[in-house]
Structure 1
Amino acid sequence: MIAKHAHEFSKNAYRYDAHNALQQSIADYLIAGITARAARVVDLGCGSGAVCKRLTWNYERFVGIDSAPAMCALHPQSDTIEVVCDDFESQEVLQAFLPCDLLISSSALQWANDLEALLSYVATRTHEIAFAVFTDRTFQTLYDLSGLPSFLPNAKELRKMIEQRFTCRFEIKTFELFFEDSLSLFRYIKKSGVSGGQKRLSVAQTKQLIQNYPQRHLEFEVLFVWGTPFKA
């Protein structure tokens, strides 16, 4: 069974790249912070291939894992690139491809059902990590006005969880995307898939929020992580 957020990404797969220059910029920044040139790379939540398309070195093997079938269909594939359409939290799936030299995830780990369990599992099965995770300050104005709680993780809690298992360098970056009007802004949320498929406002409430939204941009906060596991 595909999770709600996976269905949302899959449904919008052919519009994804056009509406997600932000995710592409995040992938660029994440990759720029990687110092080692890993031979075996595993990408959790690979999507349509933003990370794979941007790697600047020659690797022996790249494995992308994502649970959205239509996104996987858009991902590059070759003799050295394998795409696995499955749950990136599944230990059974990860067992087949770990250990690896670099475990990378750009704009995906915020969807994890049990990120702490995932981190514990991979900590002994990779030499290096590079993560970019949307935090709960993403869409801050939207959540403040709607009164709804964010479903995204908190940056401090994320950092604490990661620091228990890895020696890391952290960086928080904020991004803004500007739109012509509120309607375009809300259409972006729907088309991009970053809403996670969660529809918790009624049609009337959504219309009111669109009409009264005080700005023409969306805020995004991303926690970037580069590090290595603790030595046993």
Structure 2
Amino acid sequence: MIAKHIQEFSKNAYCYDAYTSLQQEVAHYLVSHISTQPQKILDLGCGSGAVFKNISWPFERFIGVDCAINMCNLHPKSSNVKLMCERFESSHLFETHYDLILSSSALQWADDIVALIHKIALSCKEGAFAIFTDKTFDTLYSMSGLNRFLPNAQALISLFETLFTCKVETKTFRLYFEDNLSKFRHIKKSGVSGGQKQLSVTQTKALITHYPYDYLEYEVLFVWGFPK
């Protein structure tokens, strides 16, 4: 059975870039803080190419992995680019070694993020990651009482610091909207909700009516480092 977030990304692929200004900004920030020039690169959850478009140095090989075929179809193509449509937790991806494994706005969807980060640490010389945390949509969750399903930043930092010599940074972003209906359309189209449908129709209408701010908040954990 295809996971909800995979269905959501595939279904909305052709309008994805129009709804992902935040993911584009996150990818730019992540890549801009890589000071080395790694040659063999693995991008987990490559999407339509936000990370790839920000790489400014010449490289030997770029491997992009995404579970949504329509996203892969939108990713830039090149003779030294290989795109793989599959889950980024597939074991065979980590049977080789990479100069850099990076992931922007994707690892939060891992079935087992702890196991995945352990695999990554054994398979790269360097890592760079941007992960949406459970403070994303903080006001919405506080108002609705829903359970948060994204990972906790401090727990992730503890894990990364065990496996990597790394720099970590947590940044809060805000996206502003003209009205509350636009906010909820954005959540659906952007994929940040992962296809979660936890609100009833009545709850959704109440939030659209009473949500107090003209923005949605997002928390992103950035990690750059080298495996220990």
Distance 1:94 1:203 in 2: 42
Distance 1:93 1:99 in 2: 9
Pairing 1:152–2:150 present: yes
2:94–2:119 CA contact under 8 A, matched in 1: no
- 2:178 is aligned to 180
Instruction: Map 1:183-194 onto structure 2 (within 5 A).
Output: 183-194=181-192
- 1:167 is aligned to 165
- 1:121 is aligned to 119
Show structure 1 runs of 4+ deviating over 4 A: none
2:94–2:123 CA contact under 8 A, matched in 1: no
Distance 1:4 1:62 in 2: 27
3-state SS, counterpart of residue 19 of structure 2 = coil
Distance 2:109 2:212 in 1: 28
1:90, CA displacement in angstroms? 1.1
- 1:28 is aligned to 28
Distance 1:189 1:29 in 2: 22
User: Could you give the per-residue CA deviations for residues 46-86 of structure 1, whole angstroms, max 9, x where no partner exists?
Assistant: 00010011100010000000101111110112110011000
Instruction: Map 1:1-232 onto structure 2 (within 5 A).
Output: 1-95=1-95, 98-230=96-228
Distance 1:65 1:191 in 2: 21
1:88–1:94 CA contact under 8 A, matched in 2: no
1:116, CA displacement in angstroms? 1.1
1:4, CA displacement in angstroms? 1.2
1:87–1:93 CA contact under 8 A, matched in 2: no
1:221, CA displacement in angstroms? 0.6
Distance 1:162 1:193 in 2: 25
User: Could you give the per-residue CA deviations for residues 136-174 of structure 1, whole angstroms, max 9, x where no partner exists?
Assistant: 111000000010011101100000111111110001111
Distance 2:2 2:77 in 1: 22
2:10–2:70 CA contact under 8 A, matched in 1: yes
1:86–1:93 CA contact under 8 A, matched in 2: no
Q: What TM-score do the two structures reach when normalised by structure 2?
A: 0.98
Distance 2:5 2:161 in 1: 27
3-state SS, counterpart of residue 17 of structure 1 = helix
Structure 1 unaligned segments of length 5 or more: list them: none
Distance 2:57 2:38 in 1: 8
2:42–2:98 CA contact under 8 A, matched in 1: yes
What is the aligned residue count?
228
The percent of aligned pairs where both chains have the same amino acid is 57
3-state SS, counterpart of residue 28 of structure 2 = helix
Distance 2:2 2:79 in 1: 27
Structure 2 unaligned segments of length 5 or more: list them: none
2:49–2:76 CA contact under 8 A, matched in 1: yes
